[in-house]
A and B are shown apart, each in its own frame.
Chain A
Amino acid sequence: MTAVREVAVVGAGAAGLHAAEALRRAGYDGRLTLIGAEDELPYDRPPLSKQLLDGQWQPGQLTLRTPEALAELRLDLRLGAAAERLDRATRTVHLADGGRVRCEAVVLATGVRPRRLPGAETPLPGAHVLRTLADALALRAELRPGVRLLVVGGGLLGAEAAATAVGLGAEVTWLVSAAPLAAVLGADTAALLTGLHRDHGVRIRRGAAAAVVERGGRAVGVRLADGSELAADAVLTAIGSRPATEWLAGSGVPLEADGGVACDAHCAAGPGVWAAGDAAAWPDPRTGRRRRLEQRTNATEQALCAARNLLAGPDGARQVYDPVPYLWSDQYGLRVQAFGSPGGADRFEVVDGSLAEHRFAAACVREGRVTGAVGIAAARALRALRARVAAHDPWPPADRPQPAAALS
């Protein structure tokens, strides 16, 4: 084990917390500073668009660790103190509250910030994004029966918020620029879920949002690229996000064009610099290309990998980060689960159940290899497919009788 005695973890979300915890569990006994821009103790974000937004959960239930469990980590906890600058020469993280944290090694886990539409780049009543607890509470306060909510963006976050809002009696319009959810879940599962949204009264509109429209100091809708306007009492913009890495500009830490921290296969971004979570771009061993994964499980697994490699030292055996991505989504009482990359498949094969009964597990195949798996209410069958995703198995599987070759 290396003799590092001062480690700073920047970002106190899931990735930051898990990195700190993994360091301690591996026996790291030196100084450990955990720096968070928000005031809250580390909390979990997935429930923000689910249980928290619909009022089932209260904020305290999001907390990832009790104060007692955090105390056992012997952290120098700096909350409400955004990192402003990293000086690699002096190995110092400068904080917005004037604090300075010296460190021999740093784990960058600052996550992402939601993209915003023109017209709502600064806070505007009625214009919402959904990333932090404060965001979710502000949106929740708007969701009364009959309120007209316009959700912009056809990804999972927009879908979950639309489902939750319509469940609370809101009149929801969902503005999407392409088939919603198809890029992330694949066309078949996306079509099933889109149908459920319609059945529950969500109006789906195709169009490109150009700007949030403001009148009297409040968002009153969205202007589309064709010049038309969609009126609403509140607007939720869920059009993706950007790594919160502006503070690293000029630090010498390499950044991708999208702002992601450019790591190597071991989650290192230079000597003594490590990254994990939504902001970390690492070369996926399957493709060799750098990618980021904005997924909750990735935050944990990548943090564990970065922490392990940090302690291994420059000459130690470092682990290549090679995850099987996992995501889930709760909509209308159904839980969708997926491994790998179900989007972009050229073949979708249900191996258990059926889409019609809302219970299925399916292999997503690209160029003859299993690149993803997706399912609803079939966790065991899906877990069996996970192994095929991990191995990038050929499909149809060699251990299954092959159907006679089709003539066409």
Chain B
Amino acid sequence: MLVRIDQDKCCGAGSCVLAAPDVFDQRDEDGIVVLLDARPPAELHQAVQDAAAVCPAAAITLEQV
């Protein structure tokens, strides 16, 4: 799995960090998403899919590789 984020679209809700804290973080100054792990291990895939699904700004896209 390859995770991509779009920082221009991110609205800073932090939903992704709540869903998958090992993969996503937020910049403190504006809450914009920071990608910690673009190729997360298999045990985190479900959490990452949840994060992409709940992202209100559709700023997370996943690619199967």
Contacts and interface: CB of A to CB of B under 8 A. Distances in A.
A297 interface: yes
Most buried by B among A25, A301, A337: A337
A326 B26 CA distance: 15
Nearest to A379: B31
A102 interface: no
Contact of B54 (A300, A328, A377, A383): A300
Contacts of A301: 54, 56
A337 B12 contact: yes
A173 B31 CA distance: 30
Contacts of B54: 300-301, 304
Interface residues of B, number: 21
Contacts of B1: none
A299 B53 CA distance: 12
Dominant secondary structure at the A interface = helix
A326 B57 contact: no
Interface string B1-20: 00000001101111101100
A300 B30 CA distance: 21
A379 B11 contact: no
A377 B28 contact: yes
Contact of A297 (B8, B17, B56): B56
B30 to A, nearest CB: 4
A253 B12 CA distance: 35
Contacts of B17: 383
Contacts of A359: 29
A93 B12 CA distance: 36
A379 B9 CA distance: 17
B58 A297 contact: no
Most buried by A among B13, B15, B18, B28: B13
A380 interface: yes
A384 to B, nearest CB: 10
A335 B58 contact: no
A297 B12 CA distance: 10
A20 interface: no
A300 B19 CA distance: 15
A296 interface: yes
26 contacts: A14-B56, A25-B53, A46-B11, A46-B57, A61-B8, A65-B58, A296-B11, A296-B57, A297-B11, A297-B15, A300-B54, A301-B56, A304-B53, A326-B13, A326-B56, A328-B11, A328-B12, A335-B12, A335-B29, A335-B30, A335-B31, A359-B29, A377-B28, A377-B29, A382-B31, A383-B26
3 A-B pairs closest in CB distance: A379-B31, A297-B56, A335-B30
